[in-house]
Every structure is written in structure tokens, then in C-alpha cells.
Structure 1
Amino acid sequence: MKKAQFVKAGQMKIVDADMPKIQADDDVILKIVRASVCGSDLWAFRGLEPKEENSENSGHEALGIVVDAGPAITTLKKGDFVIAPFTHGCGHCAACRAGFEGCCLSHDDNFSSGYQAEYARYQHGQWSLIKIPGKPEDYTDAMLASLQSLSDVMPTGYHAARTARVQKGDTALVIGDGAVGLCAVIGAKLRGAKRIILMSHHEDRAKLGREFGATDIIEERGDDAVKKVMELTNGAGADAVLECVGARQSTQQALQSARPGAVVGRVGLPHDSKFDLAQTFYRNVIIAGGPASVTTYDKGLLLKAVLDGEINPGKIFTKSYTLDQIQQAYQDMADRKTIKSLIKF
């Protein structure tokens, strides 16, 4: 089969690889229907974090067809069309029962990789895999794109809203206009935010943010952006802050833009080892967030919202590629020529 491989910073390639096999009783083998490039994949591609050369791709977002399953799998059968969450919760530990399967206590291999490929082995599929009604051919390309977003980016955006404790009538601030930030706008709207402020420096992303529910756009950067938040909130700050970048500046902006007693929901993968918690103490700002609860959100809310046409997060995929075009898919995202790259099989 064909599979993408990380060669070195700035370079991806397609290689021939062995077909994946069942290795554990709760494994599921998937024929990939859609995959995508995540913003977190770009850290190594841009050379901003170490990754072994000629190693497995970090792709972790997919839709697939079940082609084989281990003997412990009773919830799915061959031919089922599924969302493959990037986390592999068990469904019964304390974390999963609380709706935080991104931190599942049963598995030490809770995160996906290698899904930019024609086939993939999905571990611990009994509870975490999400069956989609029908078959891929029953859906339009646009609907398949929205379903693909449910494997990571849309639940991650919703997780920012949930962990920031967005309530009906709140003013929510979203920091980051990438795919996660745009999905966080959708998440904040679903939870009833009355006002959604999006920090965006790109016209195409700001336009999509408004379509998703943003009421205000802040184009300023750094301290000027924080000042603008304060102007828009009459000096109080936002009721909830959704931090969707993970950089030092975005985290600082989040803390400085939150009103006293507000919650900052962080889903941007942190890339700063130093963090001064003292600055939050005298403002009573609460910090929350982490890996998203994909299975919980999809089963409980998001899959139905997509199928019913209530939300259309697939619009974040502004360019599509074949697997053979994986280098271009990465490069275009790195160069901001697309918001998010969709891989079609």
C-alpha cells in the first residue's frame, strides 16, 4: 500500500509499506476514505520540533471503512463507515466516564499516527470508533469534509469552548484563526455565546469566522490586540477565552484578555516550557484544557449537528489533494495557501 513518510523538515514523500495487520484483540483495520493535515503536523515539517528522519507520518485524522477487526470488537463489523478519532478512549475509566477520554487512564497508546495512508491500524476501537450511517458514496464531498473534521479539529474546537465553560449569553474570545480556532467559533456558538470575538489577521479566515458565528474581528497583534478586547468589553475582558494556538504570545494574550474569574480553555498544543502561573493568581483566572474528547462530543452532539446541517465545519478544508500530493498538501498549509488540507482517496 501507499503511505506518507516524514523525510526531514520541509520534506514528505510517499513510500510502499506493508499492509497493517491485527496485533491486538481490540484492533481495527481501516481502509482510509479521507485524511488530512493537522496544524500540529506542521511543527516538525517547519523544523520547529524534533522528529526522527524517515519516520512515520504524524497524520491522525481519518474517515475509514472497517476491513478487519480483532475478536474483542463487538460494536462494529466489516464494511462499517466510521470516524477514527485521534484519541482511543476505553469508555469505562474515570477519565472517559467524565468525558475526558483524551486523557484515558486505560491506555498508554492513546494517540493516533500514520493515517496519511491507504490503510491504517486503529487501536482500541471498541468504544472510540464512531459509526456513520450508510456508506461514503451516500454523501456529498462537502458532507464528507464535515465528517472528516469530526475526527479531530471540530471536536478540538468544541473542547476549547467546553473547557472555557462558555455559557449562554457569554462574550467569548477565540485566539487563533486556523482550522481549530474557526471550529472553536462554531463550538462557542453551539454553547450559546452571545458575542464571539475572533483574533484574525487574514481576510479569508476572518470571513469564514464570521460565517461560523464570530461577531467581532480583531486584526491587531500583541498588546494592541489585548487593548482592543478591553475596548470591546468596556474594560472587563472576555467571559471565556478559547486559546487555539499554543504559542507564548497567544497564551499571554489569553490571560490578559480574560476578565477576573474567567476560564481560559487551551487546546493549542503548548510549545513553551516556561509558564508563570503567578500572573493568574491576582486575577482569579482559571486555566483549563488539553486533548479533546472526540468520541464523547461526536456521539453526544457533533455528528448529529453535521448530519442535520446545523453546522458545516468542512468549509475549513479549502484545498483537496491526493495522497501522492502529500508534499504539496503540507507545503500549502505551511505557506498559508490553504486553511486546512484534505486528502481524498
Structure 2
Amino acid sequence: MSARNGAKEGTVRVGVLGLGRIAAHMGETLRKMSDDPRYHTLVEPYACATHDDADRAADWAETYGFTRSYGSYEELLDDPEVDLVYIATPNVFHKDQAIDAMEHGKNVLVEKPFAINIAQAEEMIETSRDNRVLCAEAMWTRYMPSRTMLTDMLASGRIGRIVQMHADLSYPLTHKKRMTDPTLGGGILLDCGVYALNFGGMIFPNATVTRMLSNVVMSPEGVDQTFQAAAVLDNGVLTSSSASMLCASPRLGIIQGTEGYAIVWNINNPEAIDVYDANHRLIDHLVPPEQLTGYEYEVASAAQAILDGRIECPEMPHTQSLHMLGALDDLRADWSMRYPCE
């Protein structure tokens, strides 16, 4: 990548498409990265766009230190200086907007869930290959140092052979339209549920499900409000996942082995990992390094992938996005749940 209009050599200019709550976290992240010596030559907070509100985009750009703002998505995609587009819109729009961006020659980092279903994801990945641009899923826990800390601890054998594990992530969220509206791809599964399922996916990325059972409570609007799912993997490990938009939860990830167990405090943004022996004695307390916001790791990975000419990130390759969406599709099929866009 060559320098453009005074940009530092090798700097990836980021455009944010969609300016809701999650985009505000990314705006803060990019502002902090631009001031951090570890990242300031790697990424630049460059452009932002709303669907139809130029004034709001301008205010957002000023708040987070972005150079350009646009009142339409198309204007952002037409800007030749944008290298990477972060897609932060509701679930149902991810596929079309990612494909549109890639057909404009832009690399994309797509907020989770990557797509509504596996068929959409396959279309996105095909577009990525055809245009030789990055298409990555922003499943932030996959990129965090805590993931490596956890997998290294498990690989050391400190808790023995893993037998079973459980993860839950629940928040009261019924006041949010994006959660309750089927036309926006609502429901807890595609929001918090993906983190619960992802917990096992990070630990056993190549395992396949041999048997699955699930239960769900549906809303009057026709989306999942609460679910529980249990699966047996082909390596003999029993996994269970749950999430709800009706209540809060401790947000724990629990991994049980033949010699002890581990508790991950807050699977959505791990604060610590406590390791216990079989007699319930605490034998280690692992704390991830201090972070800017937690989003910097996915941005840095995507930027480096672009500079290296790759179309996927090693932390969340296309095979894993497809694997996780396949699990989500299977659960919704079990519940006879389909979105209007399908």
C-alpha cells in the first residue's frame, strides 16, 4: 500500500459504516489507536457515514477525530482513500453492505454476526475471493490476548482432559428494537448467543457436533428470547450454551477437566481466568493485559492482513465464520425460526 495524500506509508484508512452504539465503541477505539505508538502508523480514523443524515455524521466525525463524514453509505464507498470499511449496521444488512463494499474494492470488517445464515456468508466469502479483498468477522473475543492465554493454559494440561464446558451471556435487552424485530434479524441467538457458542468454538475450532438438543422461548414477535443448547462433539466433549434477553447473568465460561476446572469471568470481554485443581483450590489467576477498548485487536489484525495481501484474518478465518453460522442455522431450524429476509 502506497502513501496517499500525506498518509503514512502502510497506514490503513478506516471508514465506519453505520453510526449506532457499537460504532461509537469503534470510533473511540480508532481515536485511541491513532494516539498509541503501537498502532498510530498502522491505522487512521478516516471516514464515517450514516444512511441519510449528513449533520449527524459530521458531529460523529468531530467527536471521534475522523477526517471525512458522509450522509450516505454510497459516498463513503466511492471515496478512493478508504481502505477498510467497518460495517456496524443491524444484522440483516451485513451481507448486502459487505458485498457492495467489496465490489467497490474495499476491504471489510463485519460486525458479528457475520451474516444472517451460512448461505449469505458463502456469498460474501465468494465476493471476497473474486475481488481479492479482506472479508473478516469482528468477533472480538477471537482476537483478544485472553484467547491465547486460555488456550495455552488448557494445552498445558493443568486441568487435565476437558470433559465438559458451559457458557452463558444474558442481558435485559427487550427495549431495543433491533433485538425484537424479525425484519432486522433480531433475537438473542445472533446477539449474545453467538458469544456463548463461540466460547466452545475458540477452544475446539475443528470439532464437529455429533448430537445436539436445544430449548427456546420465543417472543410474540417471533424471535428467540431465551435459549439453551447442548451438544456432544466428535472428541467426546459435552458443551452447553445459553443466552437470554430477559435477564442478566454472571456471563461465565466454565471448563471442566479430569484434573480441575477453569472459570472465565465475562466471556464477552474476559476480565480474568481462574484455574482450580480437583480439590477446588485456586492454583492460578490469569489477568489479560490492559487494553484500549478491546476492539483494537480485531482492527490491528484486519489492517495487517490488508498490508500482507490476505483476504481473511488468522484469528477468525472464513472456515470458522461458516462453522459458527452453521451451528446458528441448525439451532434456528430446530426452533422452526426463519427471518423474513430468508
Q: Same fold (TM over 0.5)?
A: no
Report TM bin, short chain: 0.3 to 0.5
Could you state the TM-score of these two structures normalised by the residue count of structure 1? 0.34
